[in-house]
Structure 1
Amino acid sequence: MLKLKRERMATTTTNANALLVAIILALLMCSPRCIYSAERRLLVNMTLIRNAPALGAFCLDGSLPAYHLHRGFGAGARNWLLQFEGGGWCNDIESCLERAKSRRGSTRYMTKWEVFSGILSNNASLNPDFYNWNRVKLRYCDGASFAGDAVFKNGTSLLYFRGQKIWEAIILDLLPKGLGQARKALLSGCSAGGLASFLHCNNFTKYLPSNASVKCLSDAGFFLDERDITSNHTMRYFIKDVVSLQGVEKNLDENCTASSLDFPELCFFPQYALKFITTPFFILNSAYDVYQFHHILVPSSADPHGHWNRCKLNPAACNPEQLNTLQEFRRDMIVAMGLFYKYSRRGGLFINSCFAHCQSESQDTWFSADSPRVHDKTIAEAVGDWYFSRRITKEIDCPYPCDTTCHNLIP
């Protein structure tokens, strides 16, 4: 009996030792990236803009706008990276009232601490070119990519469409904190925030010293003026309503609207606004952007019987006709960027073939051992090469399903 107990104890000890060795090996193979993300997640506190009311800057519900700032250090102490938060748009009173009761329209409902990862990370091994910059996340609480300027009130409801004022209030709050003496600056954003980068790029340059290196980056913000699968202009009509409701038109590029007098709202689309942007610009986008796939190409109104549902959830489940439609969408996106690709000497591109949406804020897609690559270059490397003029960066991936580095995690 005693011998049996000893054997069991020996077996238990052996198993425990084996488990410990397995954990150590897993951590070693995982690399410092995994250990860092598990133990030292960077959380940054919210800063409310107290003087925003004096500037007429309010979130949809009247709450104060906000941002998160993590200070730079060392050689990056006078460099600034501003990241517009994304989160769609609202195009009518009903949807905007609903938005005002959520984190998309009010800082009252937002998390007061934000995780900074990817392009916002302060770890040199995870974000080699921008880790020591001043990094700012601009919270999104209007509904028109920081571009509206109007107020709605009918006696019972009040909505502030003050995205443009929010943008101005944040910049004015940051200028005395060091932005006004910036040596290098990058204005970036994801999704609706990526669109905001297009809309505010030229304006951003005007706030900074004339000798500063100022550039802009859009991540998943190149929303196409594309017909859906039933040939309807679903997205164009949606954007027209956004622009009209929130008073956006007066804040669109004047040269663009002058050239599109019959349809000035088209200047909300990057493909029409891009040629009027004089500041160096980088476009990061998936050729099969998941948001555009689900809401522009195949909105629910165009597929009432759900024939595309399986394809939306998994590209491998798409039938040949659906795949052909997706390839046509990719071609249209590349054509829309054609002049920029060919003639922009200071512009950059990274168009991969992953079914993704926003790739700069996630560490997995920005810069890690298994990040998506085009011509063996990660997104972080491509953006860094472009910003610092190390080499020309205009990468366009081959069509799906050729890219084996994609994660294709469809939300």
Structure 2
Amino acid sequence: MIMEFYSYGGGWCNTVRNCVFRKTTRRGSSKFMEKQIQFTGILSNKAEENPDFFNWNRVKVRYCDGASFTGDSENKDALLQFRGQRIWEAAMADLMSKGMRNAQQALLSGCSAGGLASILHCDEFRTLFPSSTKVKCLSDAGLFMDATDVSGGHALRDVFKGVVSVQGLQKILPSNWTNKLDPTSCFFPQNLISNIKTPLFLLNAAYDFWQIQSSLAPPVADPHGLWHDCKLNYEKCSASQIQFLQDFRNDMLNAIKGFGVSTQNGLFINSCFAHCQSERQDTWFADDSPLIDNKPVALAVGDWYFDREGVNAIDCAYPCDKTCHNMVSK
């Protein structure tokens, strides 16, 4: 059983205004979602595309709460319901009643905001199954960093602070986290991963394309557009901009240093300008997929999940990796 949080491009809503707008889109209501979604990459049912998981039961949980499935509050004046936690619980109850309770193997996965959800709900997912069930979690492009942006500010922290405040997450986030840190810090994976007891795999690009665009150099931090070309095409970055991105990579590697020591956990941190690599067929498992030590993502995750070998794959720094499928916006 693969449980996949479907939230690519989902993000979060951090103000009442953008939450109100969001509810009229596919990101805020099932009324506006596409009716069919293609299952590729880790969700493919073809052995040649997904060698280790092709014959598993595969489920996508659609994302519409704007807080990585954690909210449980409402704003009556704005006619907003923040029910991510209840959506999660209802989905799990429904699936357990349909046979998931009998799974011998289970993997909770997700990318982007869903990758964060996979971390936030990993241990909770483990409790749904008996101890005899093999349960692990995979976070793809979910390692959102509490990084300093190009203006010296903290653009993503400001966003997360709004999510926590608007949706009242300080009441929902586990007390063993909020007792040690402020609620906003408890939404950043780098502060959570050391406390996750269930085996967890982090798949992330060291130069995460979304974080470069929306966290490191968003318009609010770059009002004169000095980063405009660089953040859309890394080949147009100046030497000083590349150095800024190298510092970001170093911060990411420092954040996971302790996490990678545990043999139950897994890492695949490639030096690519990418975002979400497990659901895309070309980056998951194809003839020209990205590699670390000659191994694509699919085989690394499979080796880790089935305990064939430990996986602690960290790429050398840009520009050494010639196998990347880098994202570029024209």
Query: Match of 2:14, as an amino acid?
Result: N
Q: CA deviation at 1:275?
A: 1.2
2:192 paired residue number: 273
Q: CA deviation at 1:112?
A: 1.2
2:50 paired residue number: 127
Name the one with the larger helix percent. Answer: 1
State the alpha-carbon separation in 2 of the partners of residues 385 and 205 from structure 1: 20
1:5-404 maps to which residues of 2 (within 5 A)? 80-86=1-7, 87-154=10-77, 157-260=78-181, 263-342=182-261, 344-404=262-322
Q: CA deviation at 1:410?
A: 2.8
SS at match of 1:138: strand
Q: CA deviation at 1:257?
A: 1.3
Q: Any idea what the Cα deviations from partners look like across 1:312-366, whole Å, max 9, x if unmatched?
A: 1211111100000000000000001011112x12000000011000000000000
State the alpha-carbon separation in 1 of the partners of residues 63 and 328 from structure 2: 23
Relative to the length of structure 2, the TM-score reads 0.97
Q: CA deviation at 1:265?
A: 2.1
Q: CA deviation at 1:253?
A: 2.8
Aligned length: 327
State the alpha-carbon separation in 2 of the partners of residues 241 and 107 from structure 1: 24
> Does the CA-based 8 Å contact 1:81-1:135 persist in structure 2?
yes
Determine what percentage of the aligned residue pairs are the same residue.
Answer: 55
State the alpha-carbon separation in 2 of the partners of residues 188 and 309 from structure 1: 32
Q: CA deviation at 1:250?
A: 2.7
Structure index of larger Rg? 1
Q: Any idea what the Cα deviations from partners look like across 1:141-183, whole Å, max 9, x if unmatched?
A: 11000000111121xx311100000000000000011111111
Q: Any idea what the Cα deviations from partners look like across 1:366-406, whole Å, max 9, x if unmatched?
A: 00000000111100000000000001101001111110001
1:68 paired residue number: none
State the alpha-carbon separation in 2 of the partners of residues 187 and 410 from structure 1: 29
State the alpha-carbon separation in 2 of the partners of residues 345 and 258 from structure 1: 28
SS at match of 2:121: helix
Relative to the length of structure 1, the TM-score reads 0.78
SS at match of 1:338: coil
SS at match of 2:37: strand
> Does the CA-based 8 Å contact 2:41-2:280 persist in structure 1?
yes
1:63 paired residue number: none
State the alpha-carbon separation in 2 of the partners of residues 130 and 136 from structure 1: 12
Give structure 2 stretches of 5+ with no counterpart.
none
Q: CA deviation at 1:288?
A: 0.2
Q: CA deviation at 1:203?
A: 0.4
> Does the CA-based 8 Å contact 2:209-2:327 persist in structure 1?
no
State the alpha-carbon separation in 1 of the partners of residues 33 and 230 from structure 2: 33
SS at match of 1:398: coil
State the alpha-carbon separation in 2 of the partners of residues 349 and 327 from structure 1: 19
RMSD: 0.9
State the alpha-carbon separation in 2 of the partners of residues 286 and 264 from structure 1: 26
Q: CA deviation at 1:255?
A: 1.4
Give structure 1 stretches of 5+ with no counterpart.
1-79
State the alpha-carbon separation in 1 of the partners of residues 112 and 221 from structure 2: 22
Q: Any idea what the Cα deviations from partners look like across 1:189-247, whole Å, max 9, x if unmatched?
A: 00000000010000001111221000000000000011111111221121011011112
Query: Match of 2:323, as an amino acid?
Result: T
Query: Match of 1:241, as an amino acid?
Result: G
Q: Any idea what the Cα deviations from partners look like across 1:85-115, whole Å, max 9, x if unmatched?
A: 1210000111001110000001011011110
SS at match of 2:25: coil
1:8 paired residue number: none
Detail structure 1 runs of 4+ shifted over 3 Å in the superposition: none
SS at match of 1:302: coil
